[in-house]
Structure 1
Amino acid sequence: MTKDTIEQLSKTPSLHPAYSVTNIQTKIRTLDDTKVTYSAWVKLFRLHAVAYKVSDHIDGAAALTSSSTDHDAWKEIDALVLQWIYSTISDDLLKRVLDSNATAHAAWIKLEKIFLNNKKAQAASLETKFCNLTLSACSSIEDYCQHLTDLANQLANVDVPVTESRLVLQLVRGLPAEYNTTASLINQNGVDWDQAVAMLNDEVLRMEAQKGTQSTVLAATSPQTPSQNNHSNQTSQPSDPNSSSTRGRNRGRGSWNRRGGKGRGNNRPPYTPWPGQQQQQSGYPN
């Protein structure tokens, strides 16, 4: 490689790091204010902007004048950052901030106004939600803890920061009665947020294991079902010859008694002829 070639390569401008991003949604989750809150989205976006050297496009740094030699390059990077913003917000928010002549900073400020206007009213509403949130209103311990942290971050965005000690106290306050023992240990030991969450998760595992053991013991010692008892009684009960079903079998015109006679029942006495009939029968010739 000659000296002229080296000088030519050194003078060639390097590609801006922002151009290396191919899919911004894999790095920044979509802002929908449900699963991803505004505060979480801002933290992710700022982290990404610093890594790819575009923080000045969202912080309001003065744009280069049109006469500047780097104006076209700056404008291209700004349009790229604006695409990042549009690609990582929900469709409803996109309709409110979309503008053909907007810059990345203008779109950033518009989103900030949407979420942070009327701070006092928002702070009052968020404070009520934070204080009234309980575990019974959530699907699991993880969901309960996530809701608390989201509300704490939203309160911080409206200039009402929540300390870690208050966050732990609210965590304990919203637990039901079956967690009283763990709640007392958290309060007495003065643990931090991560330790309190770990203790609650351990308690959930212990309670689930205990329920599984109880169900196994109940299944092993369960009494015989009524249907099984009835079946065993029917098979073991001897038949009663004097019962109505037995009597009904021996009655009828076509049933034979023990003496060989045909009649209505087995208990009828044998036929005895009258005296006159006996004489007539005896007078017949042999």
Structure 2
Amino acid sequence: MNYIFSFFILLLFINPITSQSEKYKGPIIDVHIHAFDQERNAMFFGMTHPPTLRGETYKGVVSAEEQRIKTFQMMEKHNIVKAVVAGGTLWYDHHPEKILIGEQGDVKRLRSLHAQGKLHALSELSPFYAGMKADNPMMSPYYSLAEELQIPVGFHILPGGPNGGIYTVGMKKMRAYNANPLQMEDVLVKYPRMKVYIMHGGWPYLEDMKALMYAHPQVYVDIAVINWIIPEKEFHNFLKGLVDAGFGKRIMFGSDQMTWPQTIEIGINAVNNADFLTLNQKEDIFYNNAAQFFGLSDEEIKVHKGM
């Protein structure tokens, strides 16, 4: 009798741990991938990523075609059923069912793309690289367009490129002091119907990101790049901070895959390795939150989930 009682007591301790560390194997939406043009983005092809804060380097693919093929191979391997692709017009005709197109640039072109059904997000908007903040007047036409067309904005701040990118890849105007996510606050008040996701989770400004999400329920985050460029423990600390603060329904998986397709897998593993997340929380991060944010239909969700 004592043995049976002890066995059930042991199960009480084991089961919560087992359920939390269980790996998610369902459909995934990656809200942060790049498609590159062979000429315009030539510097990235064949580039070896400088050592990350994990001490890892990655050899880049050598062509735009290889980038597309290997990215979709990785998507197939990990059941990534949908991706928000910056520059997605380059890939859309190959896999229209898998691509949500993110674009930037000329506003007239963006309007035209939207009229053709080929614009699903303004992403990524990155005044950060030009040494500007979110409230720079040059950004106003994009916010107005996003609010008018009711398409989300992906707003890019730190990490901007590789660690030390000012020196290693020529990002001369990038400044860490321009990276605080609270720079979006006046913009959000001015454009209250604009949906925004802060790329890279607003790292490392955890407390300020919590404040912004608390005050503005239309703000989501993606966790792209921080799930492979910083140490996993630091990523987990940041992610746990957002989840514990009550924002688990507004966190979306992203990889920020550029020319290093293996980073998709590393990012997925980093989330699955987070033993403080339940399986349901992982499902929200990997799929449900993005499906809701980007307005996927009930029918498409059922197909993705095999229902």
Same fold (TM over 0.5): no
- Computing the radius of gyration over CA atoms, which structure comes out larger, 1 or 2? 1
Band of TM-score, shorter chain:
under 0.3
Structure with the higher strand share, 1 or 2: 2
Question: Higher RCO, 1 or 2 (CA under 8 Å, sep at least 6)?
Answer: 2
TM-score (norm 2): 0.22
Specify which structure has the higher proportion of helix.
Answer: 1
